[in-house]
Structure 1
Amino acid sequence: MSHAKKTFSRRARVAAGATVLAAVAATAFGAVSANASAPAAVPASAVSALSSGTTTTSTHLTVDAAAKAAQAALDAAERENQKVTVAVVDRNGNTVVTLRGDGAGPQSYESAERKAYTAVSWNAPTSDLAGRLESAPNLKDIPGTLFLAGGVPVTARNAPVAGIGVAGAPSGDLDEKFARAGAAALGR
């Protein structure tokens, strides 16, 4: 029996190879698409509703309210020709708004944020907290804090919801006066 060797033209070999590759790609794509679009089944035993009392809700200052407070503090400082920076942080200490007044020193930006953070963290004016350093000097080592006058907390239902920090005036008393003006603007 004679075996005749059949040879295909180059065009036929390329066409056959392309057809095989297309079939493999379509199969793989279909499998990937099916897996990506089909949600994973979650056993009913793994899904449970949370029981009452296992979650909490917190109150945060809106961006508009934070901007209003910051602007009021900056305006109070400008009326007294003071060049300051004002920072407002949320309940978690994250900066919401920072306004740097014209001519405010470069150190005032970070100082204002740290004063605001300190005030909201302890729910107390930073001028009060500065006195605590005498009995607990290690407080100053807590990252992100600054125990200098100029930060005040903002509260709702006796819980801190924000902190306002001001820095750049010649004294912490002035910084805190301007921070209080920012907090007072929220009560109007």
Structure 2
Amino acid sequence: MQVKKFSTRVKIITAAAAVALAGFGTAGVVSAAAQPPAQPPAQPPAATKAAVPEKATTTSTHLSIDAATEAAQAALDAAEKEGQRVTVAVVDRNGNTIVTLRGDGAGPQSYESAVRKAYTAVSWNAPTSELVKRLESAPTLKDIPGTLFLAGGVPVAADNAPIAGIGVAGAPSGDLDEKFAQAGAAELG
């Protein structure tokens, strides 16, 4: 193998080219770093706040998640003491589920039934066992979506206004379900 020898002239030109490339790279980094920072995106205009008269609004009371959980746990504990496998649901005044506890071994149908009983109780501010009796004179009540007219749901009220409903499902009778729901309501005082 033959090794070529480069002339001094070629060595100087090559070195000068390498220095020039390194210089261009450094200048590019320096010039890029010297650019002023990009302007932050323009902020949208502030929303206009409407002044709503106080008499045009209402304030409502809601059951806290902690209180709902305590009530549900008390109902579930009452059922377990009697060897019953149930699901307990607590809904807010608007029928939205706050908490649901499905006890060990509770049937699959019990989840939806507990939610619907709680919703029915808060909607009419009455225990579902009483509402079942109303079906005799108004049988189409049962056609209202989301309701279930079986014993096992009780309302929770504050200042005589419903703020939540507790529903229990899964015991062999609605009377037992309602007994356990009452235990949950009693936990709230």
Q: CA deviation at 1:52?
A: 2.3
Structure 2: give runs of 5+ residues left out of the alignment: 1-37
Q: CA deviation at 1:143?
A: 0.4
Aligned to 1:17: none
Aligned to 2:35: none
Correspondence for 2:83 among 74, 81, 84: 81
Whether 1:40 and 2:42 are equivalent positions in the alignment is no
Q: Quick one: distance in 1 between partners of 2:121 and 2:101? A: 18
Q: Quick one: distance in 2 between partners of 1:144 and 1:113? A: 9
Aligned to 1:19: none
Aligned to 2:169: 167
1:32-181 superposed matches below 5 A:
37-40=42-45, 48-181=50-183
Q: CA deviation at 1:40?
A: 3.0
* TM-score, length-scaled by structure 2: 0.76
The one-character-per-residue Cα deviations of 1:90-149 (angstroms, maximum 9, x if unpaired) are 111011111111111111010000000000011000000000101111100100000000
Q: CA deviation at 1:41?
A: 7.0
Aligned to 1:8: none
The one-character-per-residue Cα deviations of 1:42-76 (angstroms, maximum 9, x if unpaired) are 7xxx7541112100111110000000000000000
Q: CA deviation at 1:37?
A: 1.9
Q: Quick one: distance in 1 between partners of 2:148 and 2:156? A: 17
Residues 76/49 of structure 1: CA separation in 2 closer, same or farther (3 Å cut): same
Runs of 4+ in 1 over 4 A off after TM superposition: none
Report SS of the residue matched to 1:89.
strand
Aligned to 1:9: none
Residues 47/59 of structure 1: CA separation in 2 closer, same or farther (3 Å cut): closer
Q: Quick one: distance in 1 between partners of 2:52 and 2:60? A: 18
Q: Quick one: distance in 1 between partners of 2:151 and 2:46? A: 57
Q: CA deviation at 1:161?
A: 0.6
- Bigger radius of gyration among the two: 2
Q: Quick one: distance in 2 between partners of 1:120 and 1:53? A: 26
Residues 180/47 of structure 1: CA separation in 2 closer, same or farther (3 Å cut): closer
Q: CA RMSD in A?
A: 1.6
Q: Quick one: distance in 2 between partners of 1:84 and 1:49? A: 49
Report SS of the residue matched to 1:76.
helix
Report SS of the residue matched to 1:60.
coil
Aligned residue type for 1:39: P
Structure 1: give runs of 5+ residues left out of the alignment: 1-28
- In the comparison of the two structures, how many residue pairs are matched? 152
The one-character-per-residue Cα deviations of 1:2-58 (angstroms, maximum 9, x if unpaired) are xxxxxxxxxxxxxxxxxxxxxxxxxxx97xx7xx6243377xxx7541112100111
